[in-house]
Amino acid sequence: DPRFSITHLPPQPASIFCRRDHPLAQQDRPISRQQILQYPWSGVVPSSEASLYALFDLKPGTLLPWTLSSNDLNLLRETTLTSDSLLLTWCSWLEQDLRDGVLVDLMPSIQPGWPADLLTITNAVVCQAGRTLSPIAQQAVDSIIANAER
């Protein structure tokens, strides 16, 4: 759409996370894809349903277990820490929680695994074309792009 200027950001590695005492994190055998479907999911923006159907070998139109979609990262984090909900999101914003051991990345335990290039989240910065951003908005966009490229 020529009315918009779109800056595509590099794909961000993504995974499936849960609290450390979640039943899947405690299990001593590999986690099946079917088990992931048995728990509620949360995330910032649900990923493309087509890619999720492919990841889980599901027929298009199958009901996926999304229960919470929010852009409030604190809400998503707290929901994951206090429930059996699984968080599908990019990895970088949870690094400290993973180091502290309060959250667990389930991806290494899921069998069969997925190729890393399928486990990404793509984003873009969208602005009105031909319009100049305010200085603070331009600073925010520049910061988002710089952080995404790291």
Neighbours of 50 (CB within 10 A): 9
Give SS3 for 51: helix
Residue 47 DSSP symbol: P
Q: What is the mean pLDDT of residues 83-100?
A: 94
pLDDT confidence band for 45 (50 / 70 / 90): low
- Specify the pTM: 0.83
Across 82-86, 108-112, 131-135, 143-147, the highest mean pLDDT is recorded for 82-86
Sorted by sequence, the CB contacts under 8 Å of residue 51 that are 6+ apart come out as 118
Given a cut of 60, whether residue 46 has pLDDT beyond it is no
Q: What is the pLDDT of residue 148?
A: 80
- Asked if residue 45 lies in contact with residue 88, where contact means CB atoms within 8 angstroms, the answer is no
Task: Give, for 92, the enclosing helix (H) or strand (E).
Answer: none
Residue 1 DSSP symbol: -
Q: What is the mean pLDDT of residues 6-14?
A: 88
C-alpha–C-alpha distance, residues 27 and 102, integer Å? 16
Q: What is the pLDDT of residue 22?
A: 98
Given a cut of 90, whether residue 52 has pLDDT beyond it is no
